[in-house]
Amino acid sequence: MTFFVLLNTVGMSMQKYNMDLMTVYIIEFAGEIFTWIFICEMVSRIIAIGPVKYLRDKMNWLDGGIVSLSIFEMLLTAVIGSGGGSAFKAIRVLRTLRVLRVARLLRQLKSMQVIIKVISVSFMDFVYITLLVFVFIFIYTLLGMRLFGGHLNFPEGLPRQNFDTFIVAFFTSF
């Protein structure tokens, strides 16, 4: 299943803007095949270990939710068709959640589990450091607006990075 998860991720990453019709068809067909593989895996796992034990594992919740969304998308495609308007396009965005199945691979890597545990323990420290950096950027934004606001008028025009408004000055300082 790890191999199928990796292949599915590679297939999803091959999508790009303005693809030819044959490539779109192949990627869509591969996506449906992977969906059926994952449906079979979920059903066989529920049958093998039982629904109660299946629901005890949080990774099964993730997998089951993603498979359920894929089933919902397949049903919606069958009912509405592939050109069903903006609501259908919003539902198709949920397809990107399939990439979260790669998180299942993290469970199998012991070194990655150690790294995730260290990050989760020190998460609040990251929050405080982020807030401190945000305060510094805020201060430098106000200082830049005070010193440079309205003074960056060049003959070519106003540059994108200026200090005339707070939002633009904030991104310039960032």
Find the radius of gyration of the CA atoms of the chain. 24
Tell me the fold of 2-116.
Four Helix Bundle (Hemerythrin (Met), subunit A) (1.20.120)
Only one residue has tokens 């949920």, namely: 94
How far is 95 from 98, CA to CA, in rounded Å?
A: 6
Cα distance from N-terminal residue to C-terminal residue, the chain: 42
Measured at the CA of 2, the angle between CA 39 and CA 74, to 5 degrees, comes to 25
* Arithmetic mean of pLDDT, 99-118: 75
Asked if residue 87 has pLDDT above 80, the reply is no
pLDDT at 84 over 60: no
Token match 């807030």: residue? Answer: 131
Q: Mind listing the pLDDT tens digit for each residue in 122-131?
A: 888 888 999 9
d(C-alpha 29, C-alpha 55), whole Å: 30
Buried b (16+ CB within 10 A) or exposed e, 2-34: eeebeebbebbeeeeeeeeeeeeeebeebbeeb
pTM higher than 0.75 for the full model? no
Find, among 11, 15, 48, the residue nearest to 31 by Cα.
11
- Give the model's confidence band at 137: pLDDT under 50 very low, under 70 low, under 90 confident, else very high: very high
Residue 133: which pLDDT band, with cuts at 50, 70 and 90? very high
User: DSSP states of 133-144 as a string?
Assistant: HHHHHHHHHHHH
Q: What CA–CA distance (Å, rounded) separates 143 from 124?
A: 29
